[in-house]
Structure 1
Amino acid sequence: MNIQKPISTYKNGEFFSVYDTIVREVPFTIFVNGEEFATMVCSPFHFDELVVGFLLSEGVILFKTDMESLDIDEFRGFAYVQLKNKHQKKQSYYSKRFIGSCCGKSRQFYFENDVRTAKTSMTTASLSADQCIQLMKKLQDQSYLFKKTGGVHNAAICSTADIIVNRADIGRHNALDKLYGHCLLNHITVRDKMLVFSGRLSSEVLTKAAKMGVGIVLSKAAPTDLAIKLAEDLNITAVGFIRNCTFNVYSHSYRIKENEKGDTTMSSCNIDHSKDSVYEKLESQKQHLPSSLYNSCKKKLNEDLQQDKLNEVFHLLKKYDLADYDEKQARNKKLFYLVE
């Protein structure tokens, strides 16, 4: 599936000869009712999901039953789709730029078919702050092809607790279309699910999410201004920069809940925290800590601390201000032990 290639790598002032895993990229053409409809480049797997998701996203089909047949020629890179309704495909929809409004709002799309297929979210789903962080971590943990090659985007459909399905592709749109196709082919309802994505939240990504019907989109990267406008208009909660137990909510923030106030215990973040992030956490709790403990922690952070101790200090400081007296005393004892 991937290629092993000898390369020269430069590290610490020297060149080395190594073998690197290179992600594959192939051309892929979709024919609809015997006519060439679209050609794309993609990663060479899950072709059936890609075709179905792409045709769904473009508004060519609405249901699996709209297709009379779907045949994939992986060797040549062709897909042949026969629609039951021979007049269903309207090519003019897929290239005509359209800027319009809906219900008095300034909703902007680039293509007319986006207006027809993007849906305002009706989700009732919500997430806690910790769930946002955990879902992103699970996506990263399961991004096996990216870990090998560094050359693909990853996307997943999730419940509040876990990943249901994830897909990777060299093209971010392809990864999303594969998810969309998988959900249709496997009868997965996405209205109460979340989309977790490794890439930037562009307007095109938000439009894809709206077409799928999800109401919460999580990303480790930044959104664009148009993406935020679309998210606000389409009733989608857009969350970006999910990194090191922090994130930003850009639209419809009511769906992202604070962790339970009564839960002042250290949450299982399972992320290695940098010295800078521990220092920031220390400063945020300065007014709540005994001055002697604060000074000891600050002094210790100027020295080399093992990663496991950095993580433990971070979580002992996390939500320190919300802890009751007995909990604070227990944490103080642990912190003094770590930093003395």
Structure 2
Amino acid sequence: MPSLSLSRARLPATVEVDVVDEYGEPRRQAIAAERPLTLYLNRREIVTLMTLGADPEALVVGYLRNQGLLGALEDLTAVHVDWEVEAAAVVTRHLPDDLEARLGQRTVTTGCGQGTVFGRLLEATALTPLPATQLPQSVLYALLERLNDFNETYKSAGAVHGCALCRQAEVLDFVEDVGRHNAVDTLAGRQWLAAAGVGGVASASADLFYTTGRLTSEMVLKVAQMGISVLVSRSGVTQKGVELASRFGVLLIARAKGRHFQAIHADARLVLDAVPPRRPGDRARAKA
């Protein structure tokens, strides 16, 4: 791959403010450091993202990748972030021939921290069903326990979402941001940059994606673009998310908390090897 110029513009994920608690006592409290970052592609203004700024280079690369505005990693020549002007400049060798048409077609989505998908990406006609990955129930439980060791920003400040690239029960990479789509875009960017030998972790072997946010159509689409066919969330799922998951062969695990979950499109892919004992009230809730 040709050389890539990549800045390293890191900022703290939290800042402290003065608050008064319910007892009238003043104290310092960490809050999520939400910042605007305007993305320019070959000097063309694309979008302004609201982000923590923990890994902005990966965020903008992943955003362009997931929006279909950057077709190949080899086209990427430079990424520069300047927080003084709150801007990220990305330089590529090629732009999509239909760039203006794509930018003119915007679908307002349910995604927090982003809310727009360009170029009718939800149609995603180029994607084919992914190879099926099996998920043992015991592996899911082990992963959920390991994820408790993450969420550092959420634990100290709240107001953020977390996403993780995983290989079965192993957490390969974890990102927090003010929007779940910023987090998944950052991981997508890191995945590509790592493949180019520019920072990142070896996440190419990831076969499972975890998010704290709901499983909407655009979340399923982005994970499918990363070549991952198991998507887990502690939140719920939408109808369009279910439809796209069926189309791309993505196993959805929704409302995954403790020993409870709801598997969709499980077929023979979910291996029930750790069925928990029923507790009082479980059967009644299932009937309801």
Q: Is 2:201 the partner of 1:216? A: no
Q: Which residue of 1 aligns with 2:192?
A: 184
Q: Is 2:258 the partner of 1:244? A: yes
Letter in 1 for 2:141: I
The 1:124/1:112 distance shift into structure 2, 3 A limit, reads: same
Q: Distance in 2 between matches of 1:26 and 1:182?
A: 20
Shift of 1:147: 0.5
Q: How does 1:131-280 map to 2 (within 5 A)?
A: 131-187=139-195, 188=202, 190=204, 193-259=207-273, 278-280=279-281
Q: Distance in 2 between matches of 1:258 and 1:132?
A: 10
Percent of aligned positions that are identical: 22
**11, 17, 28: which one aligns with 1:5:** 17
Query: Which has more strand, going by share of residues?
Result: 2
Shift of 1:88: 4.9
Q: Which residue of 1 aligns with 2:111?
A: none
Q: How does 1:78-157 map to 2 (within 5 A)?
A: 78-86=87-95, 88=97, 90-96=99-105, 111-116=119-124, 119-157=127-165
Number of equivalences = 258
- The alignment's C-alpha RMSD in Å is 2.8
8 Å Cα contact 2:213-2:234 kept in structure 1: yes
Q: Can you give the 5+ residue segments of structure 1 that lack an aligned partner in the other structure?
A: 99-108, 268-276, 284-340
The 1:282/1:226 distance shift into structure 2, 3 A limit, reads: closer
The 1:86/1:212 distance shift into structure 2, 3 A limit, reads: closer
Q: Which residue of 1 aligns with 2:84?
A: 75
Q: Distance in 2 between matches of 1:144 and 1:77?
A: 25
Q: Can you give the 5+ residue segments of structure 2 that lack an aligned partner in the other structure?
A: 1-11, 108-116, 196-201
Q: Is 2:40 the partner of 1:28? A: no
Shift of 1:190: 4.8
8 Å Cα contact 1:23-1:151 kept in structure 2: yes
SS at match of 1:113: coil
**53, 69, 75: which one aligns with 1:66:** 75
8 Å Cα contact 2:194-2:203 kept in structure 1: no
The 1:24/1:260 distance shift into structure 2, 3 A limit, reads: closer
8 Å Cα contact 1:58-1:94 kept in structure 2: no
Query: Which has more helix, going by share of residues?
Result: 1
The 1:185/1:242 distance shift into structure 2, 3 A limit, reads: same
For residues 135-189 of structure 1, give each alpha carbon's deviation from its aligned partner in whole angstroms, at most 9, with x where no partner exists.
Answer: 2232232111110111110000100130001111001110000000000111256
Whose relative contact order is higher, 1 or 2, with alpha carbons under 8 Å and at least 6 apart? 2
Shift of 1:94: 3.3
The 1:7/1:43 distance shift into structure 2, 3 A limit, reads: same
The 1:118/1:150 distance shift into structure 2, 3 A limit, reads: farther
SS at match of 1:112: coil
Shift of 1:53: 0.2
Letter in 2 for 1:82: V
SS at match of 1:208: helix
SS at match of 1:22: strand
Bigger radius of gyration among the two = 1
TM-score, structure 1 normalization: 0.69
